[in-house]
């Protein structure tokens, strides 16, 4: 966890199923653009069968640096 480029917004109905964000993750989210109440860093979400179907979206302020 060294940047906030993996910032995603979790669908509200899924957000409560995730573990709590660490203080370090919260600090990185402070640097991210377009943060919402259900924002998380996707690199910090531990995937499990309980999260099958997890809905996330990319913040509007994100830009693909590859130009696709």
Helix (H, G, I), strand (E, B) or coil at 40: strand
Asked if residue 25 lies in contact with residue 1, where contact means CB atoms within 8 angstroms, the answer is yes
Domains of the chain listed by start with CATH number: 7-57 (3.10.20.30)
| pLDDT tens string 14-68 | 999 999 999 999 999 999 999 999 999 999 999 999 999 999 999 987 766 655 5
Segments of the chain assigned E as strands: 7-10, 39-41, 56-57
pTM assigned to the model: 0.85
Q: Which residues contact 60 (CB under 8 A, 6 or more apart)?
A: 34
């Amino acid at each position: 966890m060294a940047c906030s480029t993996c910032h995603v917004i979790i669908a509200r109905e899924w957000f409560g199923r995730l573990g709590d964000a660490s203080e370090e993750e919260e600090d990185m989210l402070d640097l991210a653009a377009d943060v919402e109440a259900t924002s998380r860093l996707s690199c910090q979400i531990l995937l499990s069968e309980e999260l099958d179907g997890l809905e996330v979206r990319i913040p509007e302020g994100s830009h693909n640096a590859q130009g696709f």
